[in-house]
Amino acid sequence: MQILICDDEQTARNHYRSILQEICDEKEISAGFTEAEDGDHLLFDMNDIVKSTDIIFMDVGMPGTDGLETAEKLRENGYGGEIIFLTRSKEAVFYAFDVHANNYLVKDVATQERIEEVFLKAVDTVVEKQSEYILLTGVGEYRNVPVMEIRYFEIMQKIVTVYYGDTSFEFVSTMGKLENLLFARGFVRISRSYLVSTKYIASFSYDKVIMADGTELPVGRKYYKDLKVAMKGEKDE
C-alpha cells in the first residue's frame, strides 16, 4: 500500500503521517509513505504517482495549484487511486464529487477515530480493486489476470493479446465483449484493434496514445471523442 500526503504545512504532513503509521502498525497494514509539499510538486512527478500510489491525502487550500485542481489533473491523466481531501471547510465536499474523491477530513476537527475510519474505508476500496481478476481462456490454458495490472488489449485476426505486468497472454474473444465487461473499470476503446486502461495512458493526441511505459498506440478517428471523454471524466460541450 503506497500512501502520499500532499500538504504545504510540514506540521500537517507529520501529523497525518504519524497517525496513519500508527494505524498501519496496529492493523498490520504494510504501507510506504511519500510526501509532497504542494500540488505543483506533486504534479511534477505525476506519471510515477499515477502508476504507484494507492491513496492520496490532499490538502485543498495550497498555494499555487490547489488541491481540487491537482486532483482534477491527476484524474485527467488516469489516476484511479483513492483521494481523501484535507480541508478547513466542509463545503469542499461538494467539489470532491467532481473528482471522485473517496472522502474528506476537516483539519483541526477530525478526531483520530474519524481519521482511522476514513483511512480504513479507503484501504478496503484499494484491496477490493486489487483483488479483481478476469478469467481468460487461451489454447489449452486458463489464466486469471489482475484487472489493475492490465495496460491494454490488442486484437489481430481474432486472437486477442492482453498486456499486463511484465508479460502478455493470447486468448480468443471479441473486443466488443471485453469492452462491455471492462468499460466500468476504466478501459476505453481507442481503435478497432486496441482497448486500453486509462490508468496507464501517459498522454494522448488526436492520432495516438502514449502509454506510461513509452508504448505508442494508434487512435482511430471515430474513437477519439470517447477517449477524450474517458480521460477528462466529462463529455465535451
Cell numbers placing 78: 488516469
Tallying the residues shown for the chain, one arrives at 237
Find out whether 107 and 86 touch, Cβ atoms under 8 Å: yes
Which CATH superfamily includes the segment(s) 2-130? Answer: Response regulator (3.40.50.2300)
**Residue 234: what pLDDT?**
33
**Tens digits of residue pLDDT in 46-101:** 888 877 789 999 999 999 999 999 999 998 887 888 999 999 877 766 776 677 78
pLDDT above 70 as % of the chain: 95
Average pLDDT over residues 182-188: 85
**Residue 93: what pLDDT?**
66
**How is the chain split into domains, by residue range?**
2-130, 133-232
Secondary structure of the chain: what % helix, strand, coil (to 5)?
40, 30, 30
How far apart, in whole angstroms, are the C-alpha atoms of residue 105 and residue 220?
Answer: 42
Residues 6+ apart with CB under 8 A from 186: 78, 80, 197, 198, 199, 230
Cell numbers placing 177: 465483449
Average pLDDT over residues 4-12: 96
Instruction: Tell me the three state secondary structure of residue 169.
Output: strand
Q: Which CATH architecture describes the domain 133-232? A: Beta Barrel (2.40)
